[in-house]
Amino acid sequence: MLLIPCPWCGERDETEFRYGGQAHLARPLDPHATGDAEWAEYLFMRDNPKGWFRERWNHAAGCRRWFNMVRHTVTHEIAAVYKPDDPKPELPE
Amino acid sequence: MADATLFARRRSPLQDHGAALSRGAVSGPRGVTLTEIPHLAQITLRGDPGNTDFLAAVRSALGLDLPLKANTVAAAGDVSALWLGPDEWLIAGAPDSEADLTARLNAALKDQHVSVVDVTANRTVLELAGPSARAVLEKACGLDLRPREFKAGQCAQTNLARTVGILEMTQGGAWRIYVRNSFAVYLADWLLDAMAEYAIDAKF
Ligand SMILES: [Zn+2]
C-alpha cells in the first residue's frame, strides 16, 4: 500500500484516497465552439507514461480535498505533492 | 425552532444497544468502555480562513478561534470546533443547542460567503475510554495513535473498521468517534468484539 502525504493532513494510507487521473487538463473554454475531435481529445485521451506522471488525487476519507501528485508509474515513488493552484513542479530525472 | 415534543420523541442509533454496551465494558488495569453520547449538536461550517472578517465573526458567535492547523480542535465551554479541511470545520455543542448555534453563526456571518449547515441528524458519537482504549482503536484504524503522535486536542477524519469516522481525543484522554447514524450499530458491534479479549484475565 502507498503512504500518501496529503498536502493538508500529512501521511495517510492509500485506502483513504481516490485516484483522479492525469492532472493539468484544461477544459475547452467554449464547448460549443469546440470541434468533435478536440472535444474527444479533452474527454478521452490521456498520457500513459512509463515513468513520472502528474496526477490528481482526492483525500476522500480525510479532508476530502483534491490535490496533485508526481508519482512514478513503475516504482510508485512519490516525488511531490502540491495544491491544485500551486505551480507545476519539474519532473525528476 | 427547537420543538420540545420532537426532541422528546427522537431516538439515537444506539438507544436500544445499551445492554450490549454495558455487557462489553471491561474493568481493571486492562479496562475499556464504550458509550454513546447521543444528540450532540453538530454544524458544518465552511468559509475562507484567509478572511479575517470570517474568523472574527465566528469568534464573536462561538467565543473561540477556529483551529487553522490541520486536524486540531479548539474548544470554549461546551462548544468545540474540529478542523475537517482547509475551509471546513465541524462545530459540536451540547445536545439540543443546534438551533441556537446555527442562529448565532448565521447572525454573525450575515452577508458573508460561507456555509452553515445543521448536520446534527447525520452522526452520533461513541466514546471509547480506559487503559485499553487505544489498543482497541488501533485494530480499527491505520493512523499512528501513539501518545507522541495523537494528543488531546487533535482530531482526524479517517477510515475506521471499513467505515468513515471523525476521531477526536478529548482533554480527558478518551476517544470520541463521530460516526454516521446508519453505521453506528455496526461500528459499536465491531468495537465491542475488539474489546472482548481484554476481559480475559489470562495468566501465563
Ligand atoms: Zn487530507
Q: Does B115 touch chain A (CB under 8 A)?
A: no
Best residue of B44, B48, B143 to probe chain A, by most A CBs closer than 10 Å: B143
Predicted pLDDT at A60: 97
E strand spans, A23-88? 52-58, 66-72, 78-82
**pTM of the shown model:** 0.92
Among B42, B115, B112, which residue's Cα sits nearest to residue B81?
A: B42
Look at B144 and B1; give whichever has higher pLDDT. Answer: B144
Which residue in B71, B88, B164 is closest to A61 by CB distance? B164
Low-confidence ranges of chain A (pLDDT < 70): none
Residue B5: inside a domain, yes or no?
no
In this model, does residue B2 exceed pLDDT 70? no
Find the residue in B nearest to A6 (Cα): B70
The DSSP result for B137-166, as a single string, is: HHHH--S--STTTS-TTBEEEEEETTEEEE
Total number of domains in chain B: 1
pLDDT 10s digits, B15-32: 999 999 999 999 999 999
Q: Does B86 touch chain A (CB under 8 A)?
A: yes
Find the residue in B nearest to A14 (Cα): B142
Among B181, B153, B182, which residue's Cα sits nearest to residue B169?
A: B153
ipTM score of complex: 0.88
Q: Does A56 touch chain B (CB under 8 A)?
A: no
Contacts of B6 (CB under 8 A, 6+ apart): none
Predicted pLDDT at B201: 77
* Arithmetic mean of pLDDT over chain B: 95
Residue B6: inside a domain, yes or no?
no
Residue B119 structural domain? 15-202
Q: Which fold has domain A3-82?
A: Folate-binding fold (3.30.2270)
Residue B8: inside a domain, yes or no?
no
Mean pLDDT, range B117-134, rounded to an integer: 97
Beta strands B123-129 and B79-85, pairing class: unpaired
Predicted pLDDT at B9: 82
Joined grid coordinates for residue A83: 495544491
Number of cross-chain residue pairs from A and B with Cβ atoms under 8 Å apart: 36
Mean pLDDT, range B54-71, rounded to an integer: 98
Sign of CA dihedral B19, B23, B29, B30: negative
Residue B51: inside a domain, yes or no?
yes
Q: How far is CA B105 from the centre of its chain?
A: 20
Residue B2: inside a domain, yes or no?
no
CATH number assigned to the domain comprising residue B87: 3.30.1360.120
Residue B71: inside a domain, yes or no?
yes
C-alpha B55 to ligand 1 mean position (Å): 22
